Structure 1
Amino acid sequence: MSCIFCQINQEQIPSHTIYQDDHCRAIVDKFPLSPGHVIVLSKTHQGSVDDLPETELTAMWSAARRISKAMKAADNSVKDVHFLINDGPAANQHVPHVHLHVIPRYGWDLGMLPVRFMTRFVNPLNHWGRSKESAQWAESLSTQL
């Protein structure tokens, strides 16, 4: 299977998994828009929310809400959270597998968000220390969940 999220769900590719159940898996994003950015993956491979079983969509939102609360409990500098689903290529969906972004917001990061969005896949400075930061976030969030 060539879908990276299916490979993560099948544990063929390592990830910093912070939560999973029968319907979804939550991982720390390898290309975060802000520190602690998490992606909730559906367990079923579907490219669109319209095609996803209702039970999985409900489970994904439930997990995202729990993760949001865990983010705020793990780091009191997290002020708010963005919940984001890009549904289809015209909506900037890069991986055709339904996933929900849970992006912590700190209050000071508004100006940096567009820059990180535009450079997160290509900026080598963004990659340095990411693995260590991801592991730390995974541990903090897993403890809170």
Structure 2
Amino acid sequence: MATDTGTDTAPGADCVFCRIVAGELPAHRILEDGAVVAFLDRRPLFPGHTLVVPRAHLETLTDLPEESVGPYFSAVRRVAAAVEEGMEADGSLVVENNRVSQSVPHLHTHVVPRRRKDGLRGFLWPRHRYEDETEARKIAARVRAAL
């Protein structure tokens, strides 16, 4: 999902999200706590589309320290509930890109209000079946080995 930030970013002082967190750039803030800042996306898929970012500059989910996972996703959970209620939505899409399609190299989670028949069905990914059970077992083994 693209996020229109209006500028290129680099880690640290040049990062658009770091500048929003620091109050140097305006944003329609939804939530601020010790772990995160959440604000409306400038180019929403639908009104209410909110981004949740950690206060610290971290590029991807795998950079998020273990002790920050709970506070971060507690905030994402709260924002998802608020977006659904505030926008009178049927549900929400909660998604995050790591590197590929990550338009701002600062960890961020999109929370998008969803309605039945809103036109987003299948827009994110084509789905494919495994060739057979053998292929599925091999893939599962590769991922388990990486843990």
TM-score normalised over the length of structure 2: 0.69
Letter in 1 for 2:91: D
User: Once the 2 structures are TM-superposed, how far is the Cα of residue 113 of structure 1 from its aligned partner?
Assistant: 9.0
Structure with the bigger percentage of helix: 1
Superposed displacement of residue 93, structure 1: 0.4
Show structure 1 runs of 5+ residues with no match: 115-145
Q: Secondary structure at the match of 1:108?
A: coil
State the match for 1:103 in structure 2.
112
1:85-104 pair list within 5 angstroms: 85-88=96-99, 91-104=100-113
| Equivalent position of 1:80 in the other structure | 91
The number of equivalent residue pairs is 111
* Between 102-111 and 32-41, the greater mean CA deviation after superposition: 102-111
Match of 1:46 in 2: 58
- Residues 25, 113 of structure 1: alpha-carbon distance in 2 compared, 3 angstrom cutoff: farther
1:21 corresponds to 2:33: yes
Distance 2:40 2:66 in 1: 24
Separation in structure 2 between the aligned mates of residue 60 and residue 84 of structure 1, nearest angstrom: 14
Query: Shift of residue 71 of structure 1?
Result: 2.2
Alignment partner of 1:50: what SS? helix
Q: Using the aligned pairs only, state the percent identity.
A: 33
Residues 95 and 111, structure 2, Cα contact 8 Å, conserved in 1: yes
Higher relative contact order (CA 8 A, sep 6+): 1
- Which structure's CA Rg is the greater one? 2
* Distance in 1 (alpha carbons) for counterparts of 2:120 and 2:58: 33
CA contact (8 A) 2:51 2:108 kept: yes
Contact 2:52 2:109 in 1 (8 A): yes
Question: Aligned AA for 1:25?
Answer: V
4+ residue runs of structure 1 moved beyond 4 angstroms? 111-114
Q: Give 2:67's match in structure 1, choosing from 55, 70, 76.
A: 55
Deviations 1:91-127 (A, max 9, x none): 200111001110110113125995xxxxxxxxxxxxx
CA distance in 2, matches of 1:9, 1:22: 11
The 2-side partners of 1:60 and 1:2 are apart by 23
User: Partner of 1:12 in structure 2?
Assistant: 24
